[in-house]
Structure 1
């Protein structure tokens, strides 16, 4: 759980080792793919806690391209995704707009086998479209950033 008491005495730049590791992985990444079930119309508590730790100054989420996928009953996590997008505004994350990916895992045909492997071909194709859109958006952001720096 995020707790400023766990930060160094100066409360700047010193985090628990697991948090430092998470922050470094985010800094080294080109983009972020969030995958979370919906909890009470929002994101899960562990995801929110990780987001909060990584947003401590200096915020490591800033200017990253991102996408969201979710699997839940009913609307497949749509409300949780909307809340994550709202959180992302403060973090300066740039989410792809389309395609969106919501999956009701309990609606036939079966989407996963007994080991949890994704077996539904239509779902696999939709997921591939999200990943390709995230890749393309990531390169567009990187190109735009490099052009601004070199201008």
Structure 2
């Protein structure tokens, strides 16, 4: 007997954190996002992509049309992903140097960001990293990244009550629910762009 409805296709999400710090709250957001997908969002898998091994962008490292192996591996991960989630901390009102470096490497011809749906989340002080979102969105215009517009997610990590534990894990239940809504929006947008809903 045929199934009444087909299961949702698996969406592969590449997760990129703009902070290299081990205890980064933004990396904690990505761990929470992965856990939420495993527990309560079917058809969506998040893979954390480490950008710390990437060298600083230097086109002299491109030899014979090839990139350094670590860059090639990173670019391949982005190419294979259905969508992207950026955890983008705010440094000096903008995106971090490691994140911009990763974005630039993957934009080298051929641009592997093109036509990918994407979402941005952030945690920090003050405005919770929100100003980094707008710079990343500007960059995304040139790269043909398609960001979801809503919901936006930026979390003041230092305003009581505690949002993270001592290991940088997200413990705030309301923040987890907001993060889940971002993931559901990214899932729906990805399926729509793929013509699957």
Secondary structure of residue in 2 paired with 1:88 = helix
Deviations 1:44-95 (A, max 9, x none): 1000000000000000000000000011100111111000000000000000
Correspondence 1:30-45 to 2 at 5 A: 30-45=82-97
1:71 maps to which residue? 123
1:6 maps to which residue? 61
Q: Measure how far apart 1:117 and its partner are.
A: 1.2
Correspondence 1:22-101 to 2 at 5 A: 22-101=74-153
User: TM-score, normalised on structure 2?
Assistant: 0.70
Long gaps (5+) in structure 2: 1-55
User: TM-score, normalised on structure 1?
Assistant: 0.91
Q: Please, what is the CA RMSD of the aligned residues?
A: 0.9
Write the distance in 1 (CA, Å) between the matches of 2:104 and 2:166: 34
Write the distance in 2 (CA, Å) between the matches of 1:32 and 1:45: 18
Structure 1 stretches (4+) deviating beyond 3 angstroms?
none
Write the distance in 2 (CA, Å) between the matches of 1:112 and 1:45: 24
Q: Measure how far apart 1:114 and its partner are.
A: 1.1
Write the distance in 1 (CA, Å) between the matches of 2:180 and 2:158: 21
Write the distance in 2 (CA, Å) between the matches of 1:34 and 1:81: 9
2:182 maps to which residue? 130
1:148 maps to which residue? none
Structure scoring higher RCO (CA < 8 A, sep ≥ 6) equals 2
Q: Between Structure 1 and Structure 2, how many residues are aligned?
A: 141
Write the distance in 1 (CA, Å) between the matches of 2:126 and 2:105: 30
Secondary structure of residue in 1 paired with 2:139 = helix
1:149 maps to which residue? none
Return the structure number with greater helix share: 1
